[in-house]
Amino acid sequence: MPVREIDGFEVWSSASQAGDGAYWGEISTKPLDGSAGAKIFRIPTQRKLNSLREAQIVGADAVAALERVDTNGIPAPIIDPIRD
């Protein structure tokens, strides 16, 4: 997944899967200066994701929609890219 630089942070997306077949997209942030480790945020969705690929798309779309990262590494806004 592509990495963006926003407000002094590297920002990227990933996807995860639980053993029971649950999938979700994530956003990670890490300071460019290396002063802290990465922080991971799960992307909320209104419906169940059905595949790891779908979770990857949700993550990439959510990162593309980010406008800012605060000084604590919290990205905003974290949106649900698949709102029905």
Q: Is the pLDDT confidence value at 79 over 80?
A: no
| Nearest CA-CA partner of 56 in 84, 30, 29, 82 | 82
Q: CA angle, corner 69, sides to 57 and 60, nearest 5?
A: 5
Asked if 69 contacts 11 with a C-beta cutoff of 8 angstroms, the reply is yes
Q: CA angle, corner 58, sides to 6 and 61, nearest 5?
A: 40
Q: pTM of the prediction?
A: 0.88
7-22 pLDDT, tens per residue?
999 999 999 999 888 9
Q: What is d(CA 33, CA 44) in angstroms, rounded to the nearest whole number?
A: 29
Could you tell me the two tokens for 21? 């077949």
33-78 pLDDT, tens per residue?
999 999 999 999 988 999 999 999 999 999 999 999 999 999 999 8
